Every structure is written in C-alpha cells, then in structure tokens.
Structure 1
Amino acid sequence: MILRIGLDFDNTIANYDLAFFKVAELLDLKTTATTKSEVKKDLLSRESGDLLWQKVQGLTYGRYIHLAELYSGLLEFVFRARSLGHQLFIVSHKTEFGHFDESLTPLRTAALQWLYSKRIVGDLPAQIKPHEIYFCQTQDEKILKINDLKLDVFVDDLEEVFNNQLLSLSVRRILFSAISEVKSEYECHFSWREISQATLGDISADQVSFVLKNVWPNFDVDSVQRVEGGGNSRIFKVATRDCDLALKIYPDLASDGRPRRINEWMALSLMHEAKMQTPKPFATDEDLNWSLIEWFNGKAVDGSDQARLKQAVDFTRALTKVSSAKRTDTSFGFATEACLTPIDVEHQIFNRLGYFKGVDDSDLQKFLEQVLMPMFNDSVKDARRLLKDGYERQLGTEMRILSPSDFGLHNSIITSANDLVFYDFEYFGWDDPVKVTADFCLHPAMRLDLSSQKYWVGEMRALFAHDFEFELRLKALAPLYAIRWALIILNEFRSDKLKNRLHAQSTIQIDIRAKQVEQLEKAKLMIANLDRSIF
C-alpha cells in the first residue's frame, strides 16, 4: 500500500536545541540551558521574558537556521520511504517573517534552503520535491492542508495539532517527542528510527540499495545482501562493480548517543594510513549514520592458535607506535568506558549494577547479591590496598594507548590470503593498556585457554615495561575487570541493550528467556573461573 505521509518541520525535522542556545549566547543572554525547552523556560523567567524569547525564536528560525541540526534517523526515514514509493509532504505552520528580526529574513525561504542543505529536498528520487512542501500562516490552515492532501499519516511534535477538531479522523497521528518518557494518548515515538520501524517496517536489502545509489552513486552498486549476527550495528554486504564492501548502519543515536560511526571512521582512517591489517574505509555519512568499509571474505580465528596470538601482539605493538605519534592529537577522545583512573572501573561497575535493580528475576538477583557483590567489595579493598594513592590518580598521557576497546581475535578474520584482519572499532580511543590486556583475556568471545592467556599477558608486560606501574595495576584491577565483564554478559536482562540487538538483527532467532538463562550461567563462570595468577 502506497502511503501519503506528512511531516511537520520545526522540532520534528529540524532540531533547534543547540541553535537556541547559540542564538541566546550571540545576543549576550547567558544561559546554562542546553535544550530549546530549557532556554525558553530560562528566558521567560526573566524581566521582559516574552519579548526575549520571541526575539531568540525569530532569529533562530530565520537568520540563524543554519545552526539547526537534522534529527537523527530522519534522512534515513525519508530515503527509505521514497524507496518504497510512499509520497512525502512537509506541512508546516510558519509565518513569512520572524519576530524582532531586523534583517527581515524570510522564514519560509530560509527553511527551504536549510532542507536543501540537509538533502531532504532535491532532485534525486530519494528526496522530497519543493512542490511537496507547504508553509501555512495559521495552525488551522495547516490542518486544512493536511486534510486537503488526504494524508494517511502525519508526524508532529505538538499534541495540539492532533487535538484540533478540524483534523480528519482518517489521519494516523504520530507524535514525535525526543523525550522518551512523554505520555500521550496518541501513538508516540521518541526517535525517527522508531517511526521508521512503526511505519515502514524492517529495512530491506532493496531499500539499502536504493539509498546507496542515491547517496553514493559512484560505487555502482550491483547487489546488497543482509548479513545476520551483528551485535549492535546492522551489516549488509554490498557488491559493486569494483569490489565488495561492508555497509554498517550504526545504532540509533537517539537511544545510544555514543559516536560509534565517527570513532570507527577515524580509527580505520588512522590505521589504514599506518598500513595496519584493518579494513579500508571508503565512505561515511553523518546524517544517515552509515559507513562503507572494505569487505573481507574469510574464516573465524581459533583463539588457541599461537601464531594468531602473536599477530594480535604485533597489532598491539603497532598501535603503541601509532599512539606515540598521536600523543598531542586532540581529535581522538577517550575510548568508550575508558578507565584512565583505576577508580573508573569501580564507578562503571556501580553504574552497571544500577540497571539491574528493577529487574524481576530471582536467579539474577541472587547471583548479584550473594556472589558478585561480595567479590566486588573485596576486590575494591584489595585494589585500594595495592595501589594506594594511585587508585584515584589518572594515568599520564605518555602511558596511554589508542585502544579498540573491544579488541580480540573474536573481532578478526583470516582472509583467503591467510592474512589476519582486525575489525570493529566503534569504541576506539585513548585508554589504559592494562584494560586492553585484561579485556583480551577476559572477553567471553575469546575463550582463551590458560596457556594462551599467560602468553598474552607476558607479551603485554614486555611491551609496556616502560610503565613501571603496569604490572601492579594489572594485578589490582583484573578482578574488577572480570566483574565488569560479568555484568556486560548480563546485558540480555537490560531492555535498552535488547533494543540494539533488535536493530542489528532482522529477527531475533532465540528465545529471550533462554538467552538470559544462558548468559547468567556465563556470568557465573566468568567469576568462578577467574585465575588471578595469570595477572
């Protein structure tokens, strides 16, 4: 069924949160507020607040609209909808000029230019056309236009639009709210990825092919194939005229704000330049939150293969050289959940424990209360005793390493040329090499035997011998990293993490409850099998 879908503009397509803050600053209206609603509340509380707010609002929607951002997932929604043949319209209540704007910037012209700049509007098959955009002087005029267009669906951020008695009852009302806890009588979604899923269904290979041909036509796409099994990001194999590529569609930024795409893009660019064994980055798109990288055919790695372990050591050695050359480069941030101060891992464990407080599962709670928490308390005491003041001292920049933060043979592949290629750098950034060392051994996907773990730790001790506190930190913190990994294993009990799994896989092929039971047993083994003598 071909749908006629209407979209509001302000605060539905265009995200003004940062723009309102910046415009207030430009007017010397100092504020600590960071969102539109907070800026509005702050300004209205001041003397002549109504006038201040109207001035900021008028300037933001007009002269400074270039400061607005596109809501995450919106471009993907538009392109996917067009790939399915749906008709899209923008219907906005927008006057000709803004309040107190001495430049008299035409608001509608500014909005249209912004839509062009964000690739929502244009001549491509994937884009909305200018004649499909309607700006209305009043809200009632907007409602009548929605009816006149005979829209099947309309997406707006204001409930008052849906409450308007003039609106046709046949219109499916979708309330867009970037605040997830909003309660409404209407169908409500807090992200465009959610709206896409609710209206367009799961993304298909054909839709991906359509988007790729519109966004990156130079790649000359022949075919697209879905690849199951990604933990968080969706993966598609893209066959082009010249080579095979991997398309990564990263998790929804509205629910997982970590900059996975940019982290991985920067990491791959850096390592490709250093001629390390990683996929070559080909293209990335900020608004889509997609990247195209080199595809490798190959097979999984046996963690007990000593030759492959040595290659992992060599890769880490190469990372230390790259890290040394980038010490003063501020473009790389901290790795995801970096532990540059020993106490950081303690805080991370506390935070992770908080997610399980409300989980109604007696077996889980029994394990946490009777096994994990006692070990956690003892391990913190031991770490503080061993490290003394160093427990709360941040690691010096000269001792840090640019870390994949999810490094191991589980994220590598043996190519047809018998090369070992490492992939998955979504969490890349600066970290303590002690964490890299411990994580490599403890990662549940690695399953290293005792001999392999000892080999790895011995090689890391030698590699980081210049760090005189490396061994002490490793001994003190390894049990805490094991506890942290046990909690990561239990992510299947967290609803927010399950959402990422659903994004990555077109269908969940498993019984969720059975998976939770399985993961609980793995977490128990992580704690029970920890051999402290390795560290």
Structure 2
Amino acid sequence: MRIGLDFDNTIANYDQAFPEVARILGYETKTLNKRDLKLDLLNQPDGDTAWQKVQGLVYGKYIDLASLYPGVFEFVLRALSGDNQVFIVSHKTQLGHFDESRTPLRQAATNWLINQKLVGDSDLNIKLQNVFYAETRDEKIRKIAELKLDVFIDDLEEVLTDKSFPKETRKVLFGSGTITDTEISTMHSWREVGDELFGEIDSSVILAGAKHVCPDLNCTSVQRVEGRGNSKIFRVETSDGSIALKVYPDLAVDNRLRRNAEWQALNFLQQNKMRVPKPVQTDSELNWSLIEWIDGAPADPRNQAHLDQAASFIKNLHQASRAITSGNEFGLATEACLNPSFIENQINNRLAALESVEDSALREFIDNDLSPTLLRTIESSRRLMVDNYDAILDKKYWTLSPSDFGLHNAIASPQGDLVFFDFEYFGWDDPVKLTADVCLHPGMSLDENAQQRWISEAKKLFADDSNFGLRLNALYPLYAIRWALIMLNEYRSDKIKNRLNAQSRMQSDIRGAQLKQLEKAKSMLKNADRTVL
C-alpha cells in the first residue's frame, strides 16, 4: 500500500506552539491552543496581520515547539513493518509571512522530521526522498496523483473534496472534524487510522517495535496475552528469556500519561527493593514499554499469606513515601480523592457520561437505585465529617498509591512470593481511598472477614492520621457508588475502546458484557449501606 500523509496539523501538532509564539511576540493571550488563539488574535486590532506573523514563525523559526501527534510514530512503525510505503506531501511555501529571520519553512520542517526520528535511513523511517513540498494546493494534489497513492490522510477537508483530487486515492480526514461526504473516512487518532488500514497490531509490528525500543534484543517470537484492563500486553521471547511489551491506550482517546506514571513508579519501587517487575526500556513516542516478564500463578484473595504480603507491600510503600523530601517527584494518583468533593465530582462526571446512553435497564438502575442512594449517602457523609468535608487532606497524611492495588494485580512465584504489577495510575492519594479500593475492587472479591482484616491492618499502618477511621466510615459508601459506576464503563463509548484494545474476545459480545457489568454494579451498590468500623 502506498500511503500519503499531510504534514501540518496532521503529523505536526502546533497546539502548544501557537500560544507560546504569540507570547514571545508580545501579544497578550490566555489561550492554550491554536484554534482559540486564532479567534483571540482576529478579534484584536490588526489581528489578521498578527495571526500571519505567528503562523510564519511557528512553521519556521519556532517549529521545534511543535510535537508529534500522539500515535503517529506507532502508525509509521505499523506501516513500514509491513509491505507499505509512506510519503509526506505538504502544502508549504518557501518562506513564512512577516518572518524577519527568513527561515526556510521546508528545510525547517524536514529538519524537524529528522529530529523527531520520523524521517531517516532505517527500515522503520520514512525516507527523505519520499518527502515532498508544494507551493500551492493544486500542486499538492497533482503530486498525490503523480505518486499514485492508495490512501491520503489530511486534516483539511478542502484538500480531500477538491474536484481534482485523484478518485482512485482513498480519502481520510484526520482530526476532530466531521463530514457528510461518504467518500471520505473521518478518523480522530493515528491508532484509529492504523487499525482501519492494517487491522490489529500483530506480531510483526511488535517484533519491529521491540527491536526499535531496545535494539540489543534478539527477539524470536511474540504472543498476545489477553488482558483485563486497558493496555495490550505481549509476551516477547528473546535469546535471554521472556519480557513483557506493553502497548498503552491511545493518548488521543485517553490523555492520561499512564506509561510515564508506570515507568516512574517501577523505577522508584525497584530502588526501594519492592517486589515489582524490573523496567527494561520505554519509548515515549510509541507509548510502549518493555518490562520484565514474571512467571507464576495469579494471587489468591482467599490466601491469608497473600493478603499479608499485600499489606506488607503497602506498609513498605508508605514508608518509602515518608522518606521522600519533596512531593514534586510524583503527581497525584489517577482520580485521587483528597477531599470528599473530589469523590462527588468523579461520581457526577461518571453519571454525566452515562446520560446519553439509551438503555432502559441501565436507566432504571441509575434513576431508581443509584441516584437515590447517592443523595442519601452524601447527606450522611457530610453529617459525619462536619467541617472536614470540604477541607483538603493535609499533605503529611498523603501516601503514594498504585490507585489500582490488589491481588488481581499480583503474581505468585512457585515459592509463594508475590510480585505486584500495573502501576499506570500511581501517585499521591488519601490512604482512605487506597484502603476502600482494596476492599471494594471487583478483582479482589474479598469476603467480609478478609475486608475487616485489611481495614484493621490499614488502621495500624495509618495510625498517625487521627481522622483516618472517621473518613473511612464516612467515605466508604461514596467509594462503593464510584465503583458501581466504574463497572458501567462498558456502556460508555469513550471507555469501551480501551476495553476492546486490551480484551479482543469482548468484541463478540459487547451486550453480554454490559449486562454482566450491570449486575455487578447492582451488587456493588449494596456496599453503600455498610458500616465498616
């Protein structure tokens, strides 16, 4: 397949660059992206000239402020690891408007592509001779026709709808726009484009990617491992043994920096001699990581020795937390809850995301069961916590948390030692949330006795926090409601993509998965009426 890519706003993302260059030029703006800046400048005196000045400098002198769109590097890897050729065809003049530095725009773009390691000499690079620039749109379209491209991907509708655009070339509109033209496919992320053109990421792509991430690896085979969460996991066999390759969710769909959080966490936990997989190598552009493969059996929530090891892990993690002199080393855990309003907001956001779902069984559960329970629970929690309800928890009581901790994310070695994994959500949080999540997490399935043992251990561990028990009693029901809503993610279009990414077998019965999760949510909601202390 011969694949053509546009450059500006398709490969190169200027969202952060435009406001930054505007400020460099002395324009007062509080905007955070290109679109809002354009509107802001055009509403100012001589705004059109100001906008052109910014454009000329962004595409030339300050092009290094641009970034690759998430997933474009992975897309090129997927294309070039197969029987495909990739070309770049860009409408780009020689010089920018009002650019006193007279920076050659085409050379600046080429240098940027080389610096981003997208263009180069390796088998997984776009070749320099396959990069073309055109003075006008007409010239660009003629080049697309001349190259006999099978598909062309552009962010501009007017290019794809031009009457002279070659009919034999498939048209893909990239970005957030929509179009009614049935001859044009609209796709919102590079992974989506890759899935459409190449199908699922296969072993040849993984082998090529593993070699790219860690050139010294001698990879021999790859096996997909069916996951429970949102990332794709592959077992890669090498001459030195097995390693795990993790393909994180599409950043264009879910912008949480899971790879960064996990990589930082694994290094920190290894340094503190905690039982986690060793980090091998990571790649920010691919959004992939290579991690030590751990052989063993799943941990068992019914095994007291396993529960004891989990408690010991949290104890050691809390001690390591206390040894950190600056909290800036880590950010907040994903969906951290440092006061009850955080939990309320998360619950309300999850409810809002389900409002547009047309499903009678779901609506009946939310309207008749969950929403009334939520109102009652908030009232009760406020009454219990009184003045502390709206106060942010003092930092001295924060702890580092995996934020998805439990025996569902642990493997037992043949000797019975547990290794804990999955730290995509790692960061600072209230230990009450950590405690409640372990009890409530559906992957744990702790019986009431095991939950009480866990809570007892947590009370001892966090004994210096005099309000720990009060917060746990007051907030446990809210966490139960939050978990009930998490279980309904299969109903959300924005979440189901990640689920399908990790669990390919779900493709065949999404409706069955939804109904199963609805029943689990109903059971989870019963915990909102429990008193834990």
TM (normalized to structure 1)?
0.97
- Per the TM alignment, residue 528 of structure 1 is displaced from its structure 2 partner at its CA by 2.5
Report the Cα distance in structure 1 between the residues aligned to 2:307 and 2:213, rounded to whole angstroms: 40
Partner SS state of residue 477, structure 1: helix
Report the Cα distance in structure 2 between the residues aligned to 1:36 and 1:184, rounded to whole angstroms: 25
Distance 1:14 1:220, change over 3 A: same
Whether contact under 8 Å (2:220, 2:237) holds in the other structure is yes
Whether contact under 8 Å (2:299, 2:410) holds in the other structure is yes
User: Equivalent residue for 2:97?
Assistant: 99
Distance 1:96 1:507, change over 3 A: farther
Return the letter of the residue paired with 2:471. R
User: Equivalent residue for 2:84?
Assistant: 86
Following superposition of structure 1 onto structure 2, how do residues 458-497 of structure 1 map, counting pairs within 5 Å? Answer: 458-497=456-495
Return the letter of the residue paired with 2:99. D
Is 64-73 or 345-354 further displaced after alignment? 345-354
CA deviations over 1:417-448 (Å, ceiling 9, x no partner): 43201111111111000000000000011111
- Per the TM alignment, residue 500 of structure 1 is displaced from its structure 2 partner at its CA by 0.7
Report the Cα distance in structure 1 between the residues aligned to 2:429 and 2:74, rounded to whole angstroms: 33
- Per the TM alignment, residue 531 of structure 1 is displaced from its structure 2 partner at its CA by 6.7
Residue 350 in structure 1 maps to residue 331 in structure 2 = no
Is 479-488 or 217-226 further displaced after alignment? 217-226
Report the Cα distance in structure 2 between the residues aligned to 1:459 and 1:182, rounded to whole angstroms: 54
Give 2:179's match in structure 1, choosing from 178, 183, 199.
183
Whether contact under 8 Å (1:8, 1:155) holds in the other structure is yes
Whether contact under 8 Å (1:335, 1:428) holds in the other structure is yes
Report the Cα distance in structure 2 between the residues aligned to 1:369 and 1:32, rounded to whole angstroms: 40
Report the Cα distance in structure 2 between the residues aligned to 1:66 and 1:331, rounded to whole angstroms: 27
Report the Cα distance in structure 1 between the residues aligned to 2:503 and 2:527, rounded to whole angstroms: 31
User: Equivalent residue for 1:9?
Assistant: 7
Whether contact under 8 Å (2:477, 2:529) holds in the other structure is no
User: Equivalent residue for 1:295?
Assistant: 293
User: Equivalent residue for 1:167?
Assistant: 165
Partner SS state of residue 237, structure 1: strand
Report the Cα distance in structure 1 between the residues aligned to 2:521 and 2:529, rounded to whole angstroms: 15
Return the letter of the residue paired with 1:166. S
- Per the TM alignment, residue 199 of structure 1 is displaced from its structure 2 partner at its CA by 0.9
Report the Cα distance in structure 2 between the residues aligned to 1:131 and 1:511, rounded to whole angstroms: 46
Unaligned runs of at least 5 residues, structure 2: none
Whether contact under 8 Å (1:98, 1:104) holds in the other structure is yes
Whether contact under 8 Å (1:327, 1:397) holds in the other structure is no
Whether contact under 8 Å (1:108, 1:135) holds in the other structure is yes
User: Equivalent residue for 2:454?
Assistant: 456
Distance 1:51 1:513, change over 3 A: same
User: Equivalent residue for 2:305?
Assistant: 307
Report the Cα distance in structure 2 between the residues aligned to 1:230 and 1:484, rounded to whole angstroms: 19
Report the Cα distance in structure 2 between the residues aligned to 1:507 and 1:197, rounded to whole angstroms: 16
- Per the TM alignment, residue 94 of structure 1 is displaced from its structure 2 partner at its CA by 0.8
Partner SS state of residue 56, structure 2: helix
CA deviations over 1:193-220 (Å, ceiling 9, x no partner): 1111111111101111022223421122
Partner SS state of residue 511, structure 1: helix
- Per the TM alignment, residue 530 of structure 1 is displaced from its structure 2 partner at its CA by 5.5
User: Equivalent residue for 2:21?
Assistant: 23
Report the Cα distance in structure 2 between the residues aligned to 1:76 and 1:192, rounded to whole angstroms: 8
Distance 1:507 1:110, change over 3 A: farther
User: Equivalent residue for 2:246?
Assistant: 248
Report the Cα distance in structure 2 between the residues aligned to 1:123 and 1:195, rounded to whole angstroms: 24
User: Equivalent residue for 2:400?
Assistant: 402
User: Equivalent residue for 1:226?
Assistant: 224
Instruction: Quote the RMSD (CA, aligned, Å).
Output: 1.3
- Per the TM alignment, residue 534 of structure 1 is displaced from its structure 2 partner at its CA by 2.9
Residue 66 in structure 1 maps to residue 101 in structure 2 = no
Report the Cα distance in structure 2 between the residues aligned to 1:92 and 1:300, rounded to whole angstroms: 51
Whether contact under 8 Å (1:24, 1:56) holds in the other structure is yes
Distance 1:363 1:26, change over 3 A: same
User: Equivalent residue for 2:336?
Assistant: 338
Return the letter of the residue paired with 2:383. R
Residue 435 in structure 1 maps to residue 433 in structure 2 = yes
- Per the TM alignment, residue 459 of structure 1 is displaced from its structure 2 partner at its CA by 0.5
Is 508-517 or 94-103 further displaced after alignment? 508-517
- Per the TM alignment, residue 183 of structure 1 is displaced from its structure 2 partner at its CA by 3.4
Give 1:57's match in structure 2, choosing from 28, 46, 55.
55
CA deviations over 1:8-57 (Å, ceiling 9, x no partner): 10111000010111101111112122221211121122111121111110
Partner SS state of residue 292, structure 1: strand
- Per the TM alignment, residue 509 of structure 1 is displaced from its structure 2 partner at its CA by 5.4
CA deviations over 1:38-88 (Å, ceiling 9, x no partner): 111211221111211111101000111000000001000001100112011
Whether contact under 8 Å (1:126, 1:211) holds in the other structure is no
- Per the TM alignment, residue 153 of structure 1 is displaced from its structure 2 partner at its CA by 0.4
- Per the TM alignment, residue 403 of structure 1 is displaced from its structure 2 partner at its CA by 0.5
User: Equivalent residue for 1:508?
Assistant: 506
Report the Cα distance in structure 2 between the residues aligned to 1:105 and 1:47, rounded to whole angstroms: 26
Whether contact under 8 Å (1:221, 1:238) holds in the other structure is yes
Give 2:268's match in structure 1, choosing from 266, 270, 283.
270
Whether contact under 8 Å (1:406, 1:425) holds in the other structure is yes
Partner SS state of residue 219, structure 1: coil
Partner SS state of residue 317, structure 1: helix
Report the Cα distance in structure 2 between the residues aligned to 1:377 and 1:498, rounded to whole angstroms: 28
Unaligned runs of at least 5 residues, structure 1: none
Report the Cα distance in structure 1 between the residues aligned to 2:210 and 2:411, rounded to whole angstroms: 26
Report the Cα distance in structure 2 between the residues aligned to 1:159 and 1:311, rounded to whole angstroms: 57
Whether contact under 8 Å (2:91, 2:134) holds in the other structure is yes
- Per the TM alignment, residue 507 of structure 1 is displaced from its structure 2 partner at its CA by 4.2
TM (normalized to structure 2)?
0.97
Report the Cα distance in structure 2 between the residues aligned to 1:224 and 1:285, rounded to whole angstroms: 19
Report the Cα distance in structure 2 between the residues aligned to 1:157 and 1:488, rounded to whole angstroms: 34
Return the letter of the residue paired with 1:107. L
User: Equivalent residue for 1:524?
Assistant: 522
Whether contact under 8 Å (1:124, 1:214) holds in the other structure is no
Give 1:393's match in structure 2, choosing from 391, 394, 400.
391
Return the letter of the residue paired with 1:59. L
Return the letter of the residue paired with 2:344. E
Return the letter of the residue paired with 2:259. R
Return the letter of the residue paired with 1:198. E
- Per the TM alignment, residue 501 of structure 1 is displaced from its structure 2 partner at its CA by 1.2
CA deviations over 1:384-406 (Å, ceiling 9, x no partner): 01111100000011100111000
Residue 362 in structure 1 maps to residue 355 in structure 2 = no
Partner SS state of residue 38, structure 2: helix
Q: Between the two proteins, what is the percent identity of the paired residues?
A: 53
Whether contact under 8 Å (2:405, 2:438) holds in the other structure is yes
Report the Cα distance in structure 2 between the residues aligned to 1:375 and 1:530, rounded to whole angstroms: 8
Report the Cα distance in structure 1 between the residues aligned to 2:221 and 2:370, rounded to whole angstroms: 48
Report the Cα distance in structure 1 between the residues aligned to 2:514 and 2:324, rounded to whole angstroms: 41
Report the Cα distance in structure 2 between the residues aligned to 1:497 and 1:469, rounded to whole angstroms: 35
Whether contact under 8 Å (1:125, 1:214) holds in the other structure is no
Whether contact under 8 Å (1:202, 1:506) holds in the other structure is no
